[in-house]
Structure 1
Amino acid sequence: MSSLRRLSQALVIAIGMCAAAGQAQAQPQAEVDTARIEQITGLKGTYSDKEGVFKVSKPRNDVKIQVDGWTMPPFMGLTSWAAFMADQHGRSMMMGDTVLFEDEVNPAMSAALDAGLEVTALHNHFFFDQPKVYFMHIGGHGDATTLAEGVKKVYDRIAQVRSAHADPESASPGPIASPNSISAAPLEAVFGAKGQTKDGMFKVVVGKTTSMHGINVGNEMGVNTWAAFAGNDDEAVVDGDFAMREGELQTVLKSMRASGLNIVAIHQHMTGETPRILFLHYWGKGKAVDLAKGVKAALDAQSASAR
């Protein structure tokens, strides 16, 4: 084949690819049904023509919040929001941030998970805030109506908590016994592993591995799940950290909330690791064995989701 002929064929292919790309760019982006989202959520929204995004928002003006001794208006970052955009296939993506008080976090999280939404982060934005404020990030991909209904369920659950108690609670229900006298053997039987004991407390640690800067890191470098128990066998508390890959997060959250364990934070401890590891911190009160079973159920669910 002559060089001229090969050049002609290459030009034809290049022109065809450019034309196809131009057609793809010219194809208009689908738009979400803004009126329907407003109807479902009961909130007025704003539409960005530039990005094709529709956002509804809900200021937290039902409780006065002070940060560093200053009464903070919702405009300064105390507004819940959910944003929607459509893809080319008629499906929608939703992302949002939800402003919560401590006693609202886990009811709102359960409402989100039960509605098929994802919970992707939980953290604070301030120091010296009264009452303490948390921010829960949510997301989802699918039918816009279903996503909007999920957002509405989260906001409704928050309203239910505040209707029951106008002021945020300062403690979770249930006592913690003192002095500490946790029996290790029943908990080791639940976890199928030996634990550590100190001053009537008990802790079990399960290592995980990842790689950073070409170096394998694991349990002793902090890549682990742990559970620590205090109180006594009938009036105990558990707290801990749970390490998981990104794809395991929703499974672990659902399992822990089903067991009544409270999620306190969801975040990362490292950057640049492969695979990426997320961590969640948790807290629970009750019988020590029941708490241990809840943590073990989440470990089992994590293992099953990784297969």
Structure 2
Amino acid sequence: MPNNTCQEFARILGSTIIMSSESSCVVSRMRDIAVTILGRTSTSPLTLAAMFSYESPDDQGRTLNLGETVILPREVNPFIDVLRDNGIIITALHNHWLFERLRLMYIHFEVIDNPLSFARNVAEAFEILNFRITENTLE
């Protein structure tokens, strides 16, 4: 049974709980991006998932909070701006796949903070992302 903090963490992030213990939680949500890899449609979590976790609480209830999400190149700078404004550290931005259409990037981020504060800050950044994306929605 997931703990109450994990349930609230997942709710704030619009995510599904993957794993929960007394002091840790992993959640995931999918983006709806029409993408192909090697000419084949992909809806795999390896392609379109966003994942978030918290673990290792300290005496003040602050945890190690981690996140990763698929992101389109045009979304990168606005997304990073919101994360940074909220004190979240960007640790990586890179691709995972070759020969994909639309171009997908993956961004990783981290912070020591209260897990629900982290969830609210990330949810704010996610507000700028369009979750249903096709080639027709691109400028």
TM-score range with shorter-chain normalisation? 0.7 to 0.9
Q: 1:82 aligns with which of 49, 52, 55?
A: 52
Which consecutive aligned stretches of 4+ in structure 1 deviate over 4 angstroms post-superposition? none
Correspondence 1:58-73 to 2 at 5 A: 58-60=29-31, 62-73=32-43
The TM-score, its normalising length taken from structure 1, stands at 0.40
**Mapped partners of 2:4, 2:52: distance in 1:** 13
**Mapped partners of 2:112, 2:10: distance in 1:** 18
Report the RMSD for the aligned CA atoms in angstroms: 2.5
Instruction: Tell me how far 1:69 sits from its aligned partner.
Output: 1.0
- Greater fraction helix: 1
Unaligned stretches of 5+ residues in structure 2: none
AA of the residue aligned to 1:151: V
Unaligned stretches of 5+ residues in structure 1: 1-30, 170-307
Higher Rg of the two aligned structures: 1
Whether the aligned pair in 2 keeps the contact of 1:120 and 1:138 (CA below 8 Å) is yes
- Greater fraction strand: 2
Whether the aligned pair in 2 keeps the contact of 1:103 and 1:168 (CA below 8 Å) is no
Instruction: Tell me how far 1:33 sits from its aligned partner.
Output: 1.2
Mapped pair 1:158 → 2:119: no
Equivalent residue of 1:33, what SS? helix
Equivalent residue of 1:77, what SS? helix
Whether the aligned pair in 2 keeps the contact of 1:59 and 1:78 (CA below 8 Å) is yes
The share of aligned pairs that are identical, in percent, is 25
Equivalent residue of 1:159, what SS? coil
Whether the aligned pair in 2 keeps the contact of 1:82 and 1:151 (CA below 8 Å) is no
Instruction: Tell me how far 1:52 sits from its aligned partner.
Output: 4.3
Correspondence 1:243-262 to 2 at 5 A: none
Correspondence 1:81-230 to 2 at 5 A: 81-89=51-59, 90-159=61-130, 167-169=137-139
AA of the residue aligned to 1:67: I
**Across the two proteins, how many residue pairs are aligned to each other?**
135
